[in-house]
A and B are shown apart, each in its own frame.
Chain A
């Protein structure tokens, strides 16, 4: 059964719900390509006016309105500790939703949607489950290129706020 479906997938367009499994939305930051599981992605929009909210960590850029719904936006560069970069027309906001929480992720630009079968993903060499700052869950191979597969859940967690020792 499953095999039949897999064959079918390759012929069909990507919108089919059943095909979402194992698909990743990839985007680039500096020289690396990252992958986000597509089931979490609700939409991709251009950068919009962001209202700053005080007293939040630097990577939370503020809030913006998504057709009346107010969502927080996180700059992924800052979240990963990279230097910030001015937003341009290629800058995108990837809206992800996990467990009722909707967040916009600001990235330099999205690349494509690729299917990476689970067997093509190798674990992070020094994976430490307890490290809340480790956002990369594994490394996916697409042909010769590699994509850093992100752990969406961890991306939205904010342990450093709850755990002040890490902040210092």
Chain B
């Protein structure tokens, strides 16, 4: 147990890196599957990733993962070296996916503190069998057959045997690891560990990478020096190092024996010798091909993952700073003083705090891309399983949304896509009969619309059946006699009611009866809503409207007596000062006003929330017309205080536990340190209706 704790930071890095690599691999495989063939970059990529995972898993003593990676690597080694003509792309992809899934599930187990105990036997047998078939199909059973034996010298001996250099040469390699890759000694150990598969005779500086605590610093500063005696060619060695993770620079030079001895004696190599940035021998220049995988590796390393909790804290702090800044610069003690220098500095401070706030907000924004790409896999699996032909088209994946929201919408999105693929898209023959293209298309699109993001899931399947939904709803008692008068939109919205599922059969992918209601609930939880449009026979479009961020809204502060409230600016249509004679009451004493021929109810916030102070005469205040989802209403307040970006905070737990206050979305801190309550326009309007 103690050992596991010790491993924690290393394990964390391992899990993070490995899952990223698996994700990356999954995406490339899906891409290649669409192409129908494996381009060499993908083969190299998979090979490289599998190789890395094999080593790192072995290092972490997760043998089953290591073995799976190893077998997959073997298969791709064969494909890469022999370039077989006949590859069953879809079976191969299935196998790779199976491998990925296996490793992912093992990773999950480790993450949850369990043992990675999955049994890889069947999977490995499958992969091996497939490799055999591959070989047979491509008449290459001969020399390669022995390669099933793990860990031999087979690496990178290309089929082009002519290139093989038989005499043993000595090379000196200086490896620089990427900055910030962390745990340099472990990386170095991985290199050494893997190098043992190629050659046994090598020396490294620092010598003891695992037990010498100082070596991290040495490697960071001077790089990791290796002297290798091998029969392999320089290119092979270089390619070998390229497959290692986190290597930034490789300097590989051939050295003669004399030099080697000299260097050997002088273990502390002078800085000068190491810092030589260029290769001395022009013949040894790196291969001209700047390998793209390395570039990719760099790219992923320039990102770090930070826990959202920390970001929340940071944002709170910045919010407080903005308030403190206002407290200082608008301090009453400064009133009436002419302070030229002070105002100048204060302006500078304000500018910086504003920029800081924007930056913190932007940190939280992440593109929808990864969430969208996950759907690829779902569509692929369903299409395979059910034998339907369909494509997933992704548009606007660069659209950015607050991290918290992304987490919330992942599951609903998956559900909708599943539904579209499972229930929406028809079988190919049905589609042809209906004159549709044989392959169904599901489009996943994201776009910005003001302060909101629209996520549109469109399929060209059979669409929603009004009658089918109504029948089902009647059976379940979800609607009564009014059903016949319902509009299409109202009917389609029935699918979001709990316990509604039109599909009779429960499939592996969807249709467990808990479905769209959960989707609707999740989307509403982040302040979004769902719109369904559908034409029977032509397809369904589901639009998710979600706010860009939960954390900040553009607000209008209004005053009622001594209290301050904030309205989301999006919901304000207009504001005006009414005249007393424009306002009238109906028999139930409900106040109303006629504006341009339309009659709107008036809601006095003062009365509604029983505020003790504030204007009572209608001409002393202002009316703000609010537009909700279904209805509009006019809110009566004392005055508008101005527009401001406000950081939304939830009401304290104590109050939330006590009662859900309709019409309140949260609260925020104003520049002067006061608290303003944020109004939820839809809640206000509905509540008003109930009260009447």
A84 at the interface (CB under 8 A from B): no
Which residue, of A54, A100, A161, has the highest number of chain B Cβ atoms within 10 A?
A54
CB-based contact A64/B675 at 8 Å? yes
Name B653's contact: one of A67, A68, A100 (CB within 8 Å). Answer: A100
Q: Determine the distance from Cα of A126 to Cα of B564 in the docked complex, in whole angstroms.
A: 46
CB-based contact B675/A51 at 8 Å? yes
A102 at the interface (CB under 8 A from B): yes
CB-based contact A72/B652 at 8 Å? yes
Interface size on A, residues (CB 8 A): 25
Contacts of A102 in B (CB 8 A): 652, 654
A71 at the interface (CB under 8 A from B): yes
Interface string of A64-77 (1 = CB under 8 A from B): 11011111100000
A33 at the interface (CB under 8 A from B): no
Q: Determine the distance from Cα of A65 to Cα of B319 in the docked complex, in whole angstroms.
A: 12
CB-based contact B659/A56 at 8 Å? yes
CB-based contact B655/A56 at 8 Å? yes
Contacts of B185 in A (CB 8 A): none
CB-based contact A53/B316 at 8 Å? no
CB-based contact B652/A52 at 8 Å? no
B674 at the interface (CB under 8 A from A): yes
Contacts of B518 in A (CB 8 A): none
Q: Give the shortest distance, in Å, between B302 (CB) and chain A (any CB).
A: 32
CB-based contact B658/A158 at 8 Å? yes
A103 at the interface (CB under 8 A from B): yes
Interface size on B, residues (CB 8 A): 29
CB-based contact B611/A51 at 8 Å? no
B677 at the interface (CB under 8 A from A): yes
Q: Determine the distance from Cα of A165 to Cα of B661 in the docked complex, in whole angstroms.
A: 21
A55 at the interface (CB under 8 A from B): yes
Contacts of A161 in B (CB 8 A): 658-659
Residue of A nearest to B662 (CB): A55
CB-based contact A51/B658 at 8 Å? no
Contacts of B564 in A (CB 8 A): 51
Residue of B nearest to A98 (CB): B654
CB-based contact A51/B320 at 8 Å? no
Chain A, range 26-66, C-beta contacts under 8 Å to B: 49, 51-57, 60, 63-65
Contacts of B652 in A (CB 8 A): 63, 70-72, 101-103
Residue of A nearest to B660 (CB): A55
A53-B654 contact in complex given A70-B669, A161-B659, C-beta closer than 8 Å: no
CB-based contact A54/B658 at 8 Å? no
Q: Give the shortest distance, in Å, between A148 (CB) and chain B (any CB).
A: 23
Q: Give the shortest distance, in Å, between A40 (CB) and chain B (any CB).
A: 14
Contacts of B675 in A (CB 8 A): 51, 63-65, 70
A156 at the interface (CB under 8 A from B): yes
Contacts of A57 in B (CB 8 A): 658
Name B323's contact: one of A49, A52, A68 (CB within 8 Å). Answer: A68
Residue of B nearest to A74 (CB): B654
Q: Determine the distance from Cα of A52 to Cα of B655 in the docked complex, in whole angstroms.
A: 12
Q: Determine the distance from Cα of A10 to Cα of B564 in the docked complex, in whole angstroms.
A: 50
Chain B, range 507-565, C-beta contacts under 8 Å to A: 563-564
Where chain B touches its partner, the secondary structure class is: mixed
Q: Give the shortest distance, in Å, between A67 (CB) and chain B (any CB).
A: 7
CB-based contact B316/A103 at 8 Å? no
Q: Give the shortest distance, in Å, between B523 (CB) and chain A (any CB).
A: 26
B4 at the interface (CB under 8 A from A): no
Q: Determine the distance from Cα of A158 to Cα of B651 in the docked complex, in whole angstroms.
A: 16
Name B664's contact: one of A53, A64, A65 (CB within 8 Å). Answer: A53
CB-based contact B651/A54 at 8 Å? no
CB-based contact A56/B658 at 8 Å? yes
CB-based contact A52/B563 at 8 Å? yes
Name A70's contact: one of B563, B608, B649, B658 (CB within 8 Å). Answer: B649
B609 at the interface (CB under 8 A from A): yes
Q: Determine the distance from Cα of A52 to Cα of B676 in the docked complex, in whole angstroms.
A: 9
B667 at the interface (CB under 8 A from A): yes
CB-based contact B651/A53 at 8 Å? yes
Name A60's contact: one of B608, B653, B655 (CB within 8 Å). Answer: B655
Q: Determine the distance from Cα of A51 to Cα of B657 in the docked complex, in whole angstroms.
A: 18
Chain A, range 136-151, C-beta contacts under 8 Å to B: none
Contacts of B598 in A (CB 8 A): none
Which residue, of A64, A65, A68, A161, has the highest number of chain B Cβ atoms within 10 A?
A68
Interface string of B307-351 (1 = CB under 8 A from A): 000000000110110010000000000000000000000000000
A49-B674 contact in complex given A63-B655, A71-B652, A158-B657, C-beta closer than 8 Å: yes
CB-based contact B654/A72 at 8 Å? yes
CB-based contact A53/B655 at 8 Å? yes
CB-based contact A51/B677 at 8 Å? yes
Q: Give the shortest distance, in Å, between A160 (CB) and chain B (any CB).
A: 10
CB-based contact B669/A156 at 8 Å? no
Residue of B nearest to A160 (CB): B658
B182 at the interface (CB under 8 A from A): no
Name B654's contact: one of A65, A68, A69, A101 (CB within 8 Å). Answer: A101
Contacts of A55 in B (CB 8 A): 609, 659, 661
Q: Determine the distance from Cα of A54 to Cα of B667 in the docked complex, in whole angstroms.
A: 12
Which residue, of B323, B649, B664, B675, has the highest number of chain A Cβ atoms within 10 A?
B675
Contacts of B676 in A (CB 8 A): 51
Q: Give the shortest distance, in Å, between A58 (CB) and chain B (any CB).
A: 11
Contacts of A101 in B (CB 8 A): 652-654, 657
Contacts of A67 in B (CB 8 A): 320
Residue of A nearest to B649 (CB): A70
Q: Determine the distance from Cα of A72 to Cα of B649 in the docked complex, in whole angstroms.
A: 13
Q: Give the shortest distance, in Å, between B671 (CB) and chain A (any CB).
A: 12
Q: Determine the distance from Cα of A103 to Cα of B126 in the docked complex, in whole angstroms.
A: 61
A interface residues, Cβ below 8 angstroms from B: 49, 51-57, 60, 63-65, 67-72, 100-103, 156, 158, 161
- Name 30 A/B residue pairs within 8 A (Cβ), A-sorted: A51-B563, A51-B667, A52-B563, A53-B651, A53-B655, A53-B661, A54-B608, A54-B609, A54-B611, A55-B609, A55-B661, A56-B655, A56-B658, A56-B661, A57-B658, A60-B658, A63-B651, A63-B667, A63-B675, A64-B675, A65-B674, A68-B317, A70-B649, A70-B667, A71-B652, A72-B652, A72-B654, A72-B655, A101-B652, A158-B658
Question: Which 7 pairs of residues, A with B, have the shortest CB-CB distance?
Answer: A54-B609, A68-B320, A51-B675, A72-B654, A72-B652, A158-B658, A55-B661
Given contacts A52-B563, A63-B652, A103-B652, 15 further A-B contacts (CB under 8 A): A49-B674, A51-B563, A51-B675, A54-B608, A54-B610, A54-B611, A54-B661, A55-B659, A55-B661, A65-B674, A67-B320, A68-B317, A68-B323, A72-B651, A100-B653
